[in-house]
Amino acid sequence: MKLNNNVTEFLLLGLTQDPLRKKIIFGTFLFLYVGTLLGNLLIIATIKTSSTLQSPMYFFLFHLSLSDTCFSTCVAPRMIVDALLKKATISFNECILQVFTSHFFGCLEIFILILMAVDRYVAICKPLHYTAIMSHRVCGVLVAVAWVGSCVHSSAQILLALSLPFCGPNVIDHYVCDLQPLLKLAYTDTYVTNLLLVSNSGAICVVSFVILMFSYAIILHSLRNHSAEGRKKALSTCISHIIVVILFFGPCIFMYTRPATTFSMDKMIAVFYTIGTPLFNPLIYTLRNAEVKNAMRMLWSKKLISDDKR
């Protein structure tokens, strides 16, 4: 893996080098990460144990929460620990692994969001054929394709990273390893590599966002033929999904669809979609979904009853 470079480790500058601010970052992001884990793991446990949340929508929500948990774990723990260190370093192999895992679970989230949009489209626009189209087997195959597609995407990112020669500077002005900051350190012309990056990550972000917005536009347009109660329920679900899509894709499109230039706001925008979005998702899906909230209450009640019996 080190064939094309003489660098064995990188120095991560993080969000700041100020000791006081680093302590604030440690406490803040530790709190956010714990909240992310609790929120997403609660959704995962609720869906797994509830007999009322067995529809395809919740099957996809389960995998979305799983990808959020893993996506945040790829970045947050190291960021939190590095905030306590005077000099935060990451080995070349660990850096490559972080590139792979962050892109894998980030891409998986994109594909799961598309599957959730497909599910809502079939449920609202083809209600009589919903059970036949979105069967358990079909949903399982679609999720498997999403996992394989994410692996293909992240493998392409790794090939791009391994093709870069690193012979000198090893200071990454970021809190995470990614191709954009690595391109600045490569001892070669990175124009072609950046084009490949944009055509890979950038295209996935833009095309997926357009597909999602177009599908939800069709869904919202079709709601005019539904009853007031059905329209209210479907609208609530779709709005939750649209909020998640905008929160996730906005920063991603900004980061991966432009030339290899850096801005002062890049790190804060990266924080938003690597730390913020995995935290917001469980809040959005639970606060706006009565079925999930009821299932969580039942799960909590069962826990209290089992504790009382002890």
Q: With a cut of 70, say whether residue 305 has pLDDT above it.
A: no
pLDDT value of residue 143: 96
Residues 97-124 have pLDDT tens digits of 999 999 999 999 999 999 988 998 898 8
Other beta carbons within 10 Å of 147: 15
pLDDT band at 2 (very low <50, low <70, confident <90, very high): very low
Q: Which domains does the chain have, with CATH numbers?
A: 9-309 (1.20.1070.10)
pTM attached to this predicted model: 0.87
pLDDT tens digit sequence for 22-73 = 899 899 999 999 999 998 998 898 888 887 788 888 899 999 999 999 999 9
Give CA separation, 10 vs 156, 160, 164, 190, in Å. 21, 17, 14, 19
**DSSP 8-state symbol, 275:** I
Taking only the tens place, the pLDDT of each residue in 177-219 is: 888 888 888 777 777 777 887 778 888 888 999 988 888 888 8
Write the burial class of residue 302 (CB in 10 Å: 0-12 exposed, 13-18 middle, 19+ buried). exposed
